[in-house]
Amino acid sequence: MFALLFGSIGSIVETSELQRRSFNMAFAEHGLAWDWDVGQYKSLLVKAGGVARIHDYASAANETVDAKAIHDTKTRLFLDLLQQAELEPRAGVMDLLSFAKDSGMKTGFVTSTQKATTVMILDKLGLPEFDVVTHRGLGLPDKPDPAIYAYALEMLSVSPNRAIAVEDNIDGAIAARDAGLAVLGYAGQFGTSALGDITRTVNDLGREGIDALQTLVRDMA
Protein backbone atom coordinates (compact mmCIF):
# COMPACT_ATOMS: atom_id res chain seq x y z
CA MET A 1 0.00 0.00 0.00
CA PHE A 2 1.27 3.45 -0.98
CA ALA A 3 0.23 6.84 0.40
CA LEU A 4 0.09 10.37 -0.98
CA LEU A 5 0.22 13.07 1.70
CA PHE A 6 -0.42 16.76 1.03
CA GLY A 7 1.72 18.46 3.64
CA SER A 8 0.38 21.97 4.19
CA ILE A 9 -2.45 24.34 3.37
CA GLY A 10 -0.28 25.88 0.65
CA SER A 11 0.12 22.54 -1.10
CA ILE A 12 -3.61 22.39 -1.91
CA VAL A 13 -4.82 26.01 -2.01
CA GLU A 14 -3.26 29.46 -2.40
CA THR A 15 -3.98 31.54 0.71
CA SER A 16 -0.67 33.38 1.12
CA GLU A 17 -2.07 36.87 0.53
CA LEU A 18 -4.98 36.26 2.90
CA GLN A 19 -2.50 35.03 5.50
CA ARG A 20 -0.31 38.11 5.07
CA ARG A 21 -3.27 40.46 5.43
CA SER A 22 -4.42 38.59 8.55
CA PHE A 23 -1.02 38.98 10.19
CA ASN A 24 -0.96 42.72 9.53
CA MET A 25 -4.52 43.14 10.83
CA ALA A 26 -3.57 41.21 13.98
CA PHE A 27 -0.51 43.40 14.51
CA ALA A 28 -2.70 46.48 14.33
CA GLU A 29 -5.16 45.03 16.88
CA HIS A 30 -2.28 44.42 19.26
CA GLY A 31 -0.94 47.94 18.85
CA LEU A 32 2.16 46.94 16.90
CA ALA A 33 3.57 49.16 14.16
CA TRP A 34 4.50 46.13 12.08
CA ASP A 35 3.49 45.78 8.45
CA TRP A 36 4.77 42.82 6.46
CA ASP A 37 4.90 43.63 2.76
CA VAL A 38 4.91 40.87 0.14
CA GLY A 39 8.69 40.64 -0.13
CA GLN A 40 9.17 40.56 3.62
CA TYR A 41 6.43 38.00 4.15
CA LYS A 42 7.86 35.79 1.44
CA SER A 43 11.22 35.73 3.20
CA LEU A 44 9.56 34.91 6.53
CA LEU A 45 7.78 31.89 5.04
CA VAL A 46 11.09 30.02 4.89
CA LYS A 47 10.28 29.03 8.48
CA ALA A 48 7.08 27.13 9.23
CA GLY A 49 4.76 28.02 12.10
CA GLY A 50 3.10 31.38 12.60
CA VAL A 51 3.82 31.63 16.33
CA ALA A 52 7.53 30.98 15.77
CA ARG A 53 7.52 33.48 12.91
CA ILE A 54 6.09 36.22 15.15
CA HIS A 55 8.45 35.36 18.00
CA ASP A 56 11.54 35.44 15.79
CA TYR A 57 10.49 38.71 14.17
CA ALA A 58 9.95 40.33 17.57
CA SER A 59 13.29 39.06 18.83
CA ALA A 60 15.08 40.50 15.80
CA ALA A 61 13.40 43.85 16.49
CA ASN A 62 14.26 43.68 20.21
CA GLU A 63 10.58 43.73 21.12
CA THR A 64 8.72 41.54 23.62
CA VAL A 65 5.29 40.33 22.54
CA ASP A 66 2.84 37.55 23.30
CA ALA A 67 3.34 35.64 20.06
CA LYS A 68 0.62 33.09 20.79
CA ALA A 69 -1.99 35.77 21.56
CA ILE A 70 -1.13 37.63 18.36
CA HIS A 71 -1.32 34.42 16.37
CA ASP A 72 -4.69 33.54 17.92
CA THR A 73 -5.95 36.93 16.75
CA LYS A 74 -4.45 36.33 13.32
CA THR A 75 -6.23 32.96 13.10
CA ARG A 76 -9.59 34.55 13.96
CA LEU A 77 -9.10 37.26 11.34
CA PHE A 78 -7.88 34.74 8.77
CA LEU A 79 -10.99 32.61 9.28
CA ASP A 80 -13.16 35.70 8.73
CA LEU A 81 -11.36 36.46 5.45
CA LEU A 82 -11.41 32.80 4.47
CA GLN A 83 -15.17 32.58 5.00
CA GLN A 84 -15.68 35.41 2.51
CA ALA A 85 -13.14 34.20 -0.05
CA GLU A 86 -13.82 32.13 -3.15
CA LEU A 87 -11.30 29.31 -2.99
CA GLU A 88 -10.21 26.87 -5.65
CA PRO A 89 -7.68 24.04 -5.36
CA ARG A 90 -4.25 24.80 -6.81
CA ALA A 91 -3.56 23.62 -10.35
CA GLY A 92 -3.67 19.85 -10.62
CA VAL A 93 -4.51 19.11 -6.98
CA MET A 94 -7.84 17.50 -7.83
CA ASP A 95 -6.24 15.55 -10.70
CA LEU A 96 -3.41 14.18 -8.57
CA LEU A 97 -5.67 13.35 -5.63
CA SER A 98 -8.17 11.57 -7.86
CA PHE A 99 -5.37 9.67 -9.60
CA ALA A 100 -3.97 8.53 -6.26
CA LYS A 101 -7.35 7.35 -5.02
CA ASP A 102 -8.13 5.58 -8.30
CA SER A 103 -4.75 3.85 -8.00
CA GLY A 104 -5.63 2.53 -4.55
CA MET A 105 -3.33 4.83 -2.60
CA LYS A 106 -4.13 6.11 0.87
CA THR A 107 -4.30 9.90 1.09
CA GLY A 108 -3.68 12.45 3.81
CA PHE A 109 -3.59 16.14 4.64
CA VAL A 110 -0.71 16.60 7.07
CA THR A 111 -0.83 20.14 8.42
CA SER A 112 -0.16 21.63 11.85
CA THR A 113 -2.53 24.55 11.41
CA GLN A 114 -5.56 25.12 13.61
CA LYS A 115 -8.34 22.54 13.25
CA ALA A 116 -10.98 25.19 12.48
CA THR A 117 -8.87 26.46 9.58
CA THR A 118 -8.31 22.96 8.23
CA VAL A 119 -12.00 22.09 8.41
CA MET A 120 -13.11 25.31 6.69
CA ILE A 121 -10.61 24.97 3.85
CA LEU A 122 -11.51 21.36 3.14
CA ASP A 123 -15.24 22.18 3.26
CA LYS A 124 -14.85 25.10 0.86
CA LEU A 125 -12.65 23.21 -1.61
CA GLY A 126 -14.86 20.13 -1.84
CA LEU A 127 -11.93 17.76 -2.27
CA PRO A 128 -12.35 13.98 -2.08
CA GLU A 129 -12.14 12.84 1.55
CA PHE A 130 -8.67 12.25 2.94
CA ASP A 131 -7.94 9.07 4.90
CA VAL A 132 -6.14 11.06 7.60
CA VAL A 133 -6.18 14.78 8.46
CA THR A 134 -3.93 16.34 11.10
CA HIS A 135 -4.11 19.69 12.89
CA ARG A 136 -2.53 21.70 15.70
CA GLY A 137 -4.92 20.28 18.28
CA LEU A 138 -3.04 16.99 18.22
CA GLY A 139 -0.25 18.68 20.18
CA LEU A 140 2.52 17.60 17.82
CA PRO A 141 5.58 19.83 17.24
CA ASP A 142 5.74 22.11 14.23
CA LYS A 143 7.65 21.12 11.14
CA PRO A 144 10.55 20.66 10.41
CA ASP A 145 10.12 18.15 13.22
CA PRO A 146 8.98 14.95 11.42
CA ALA A 147 6.61 13.83 14.21
CA ILE A 148 3.42 14.86 12.41
CA TYR A 149 4.35 12.75 9.39
CA ALA A 150 5.18 9.79 11.63
CA TYR A 151 1.75 10.17 13.25
CA ALA A 152 -0.07 10.30 9.90
CA LEU A 153 1.73 7.22 8.59
CA GLU A 154 0.94 5.33 11.80
CA MET A 155 -2.74 6.20 11.38
CA LEU A 156 -2.62 4.93 7.79
CA SER A 157 -0.53 1.83 8.61
CA VAL A 158 1.83 2.77 5.77
CA SER A 159 5.62 2.63 6.04
CA PRO A 160 7.63 5.78 5.21
CA ASN A 161 9.36 4.15 2.25
CA ARG A 162 6.00 3.74 0.56
CA ALA A 163 4.77 7.30 1.00
CA ILE A 164 5.10 10.52 -1.00
CA ALA A 165 4.57 14.01 0.43
CA VAL A 166 3.65 17.13 -1.53
CA GLU A 167 5.09 20.21 0.19
CA ASP A 168 5.21 23.90 -0.75
CA ASN A 169 7.80 25.04 1.81
CA ILE A 170 11.28 24.10 3.00
CA ASP A 171 10.44 23.19 6.61
CA GLY A 172 7.64 20.94 5.42
CA ALA A 173 9.89 19.25 2.87
CA ILE A 174 12.56 18.68 5.52
CA ALA A 175 9.99 17.20 7.91
CA ALA A 176 8.75 14.76 5.27
CA ARG A 177 12.28 13.84 4.19
CA ASP A 178 13.41 13.27 7.77
CA ALA A 179 10.38 11.07 8.36
CA GLY A 180 11.59 8.89 5.50
CA LEU A 181 9.13 9.94 2.78
CA ALA A 182 9.84 10.86 -0.82
CA VAL A 183 9.02 14.54 -1.37
CA LEU A 184 7.50 16.37 -4.30
CA GLY A 185 7.99 20.14 -4.07
CA TYR A 186 5.21 22.43 -5.32
CA ALA A 187 6.08 26.04 -4.45
CA GLY A 188 3.23 28.50 -4.18
CA GLN A 189 2.73 32.19 -4.98
CA PHE A 190 5.13 33.27 -2.23
CA GLY A 191 7.28 30.16 -2.47
CA THR A 192 11.04 29.95 -2.82
CA SER A 193 13.23 28.41 -5.49
CA ALA A 194 15.34 26.98 -2.65
CA LEU A 195 12.74 24.22 -2.39
CA GLY A 196 14.42 22.74 -5.45
CA ASP A 197 17.68 22.42 -3.53
CA ILE A 198 16.28 19.67 -1.32
CA THR A 199 13.65 17.91 -3.39
CA ARG A 200 12.26 17.33 -6.85
CA THR A 201 9.83 20.09 -7.83
CA VAL A 202 6.95 20.45 -10.28
CA ASN A 203 5.13 23.48 -11.67
CA ASP A 204 1.70 21.86 -11.51
CA LEU A 205 0.20 18.71 -10.07
CA GLY A 206 -1.76 17.72 -13.18
CA ARG A 207 0.06 15.81 -15.88
CA GLU A 208 3.47 16.80 -14.55
CA GLY A 209 2.55 15.87 -10.98
CA ILE A 210 1.01 12.55 -12.00
CA ASP A 211 4.10 11.64 -14.04
CA ALA A 212 6.33 12.50 -11.08
CA LEU A 213 4.15 10.47 -8.70
CA GLN A 214 4.24 7.45 -10.97
CA THR A 215 8.03 7.68 -11.19
CA LEU A 216 8.41 7.89 -7.42
CA VAL A 217 6.08 4.93 -6.87
CA ARG A 218 7.99 2.90 -9.47
CA ASP A 219 11.25 3.67 -7.70
CA MET A 220 9.74 2.47 -4.42
CA ALA A 221 8.31 -0.77 -5.77
pLDDT for 192: 66
pLDDT for 43: 86
Please report, in tens digits, the pLDDT of each residue of the chain (221 residues total). Answer: 999 999 989 999 999 999 999 999 999 999 999 999 999 998 888 777 789 899 999 999 999 999 999 999 999 999 999 999 999 999 999 999 999 999 999 999 999 988 999 999 999 999 999 999 999 999 999 899 999 999 999 999 999 999 999 999 888 999 999 999 999 999 888 876 667 677 889 999 999 999 999 999 999 98
- Class assignment of domain 16-84? mainly alpha
- Taking a C-beta distance cutoff of 8 angstroms, is the pair 183, 200 a contact? yes
pLDDT for 92: 96
Domain map (residue ranges) of the chain = 3-14+89-220, 16-84
Fold annotation for 3-14+89-220: Rossmann fold (3.40.50)
pLDDT for 42: 87
pLDDT digits (tens, 9 = 90+) for 76-94: 999 999 999 999 999 999 9
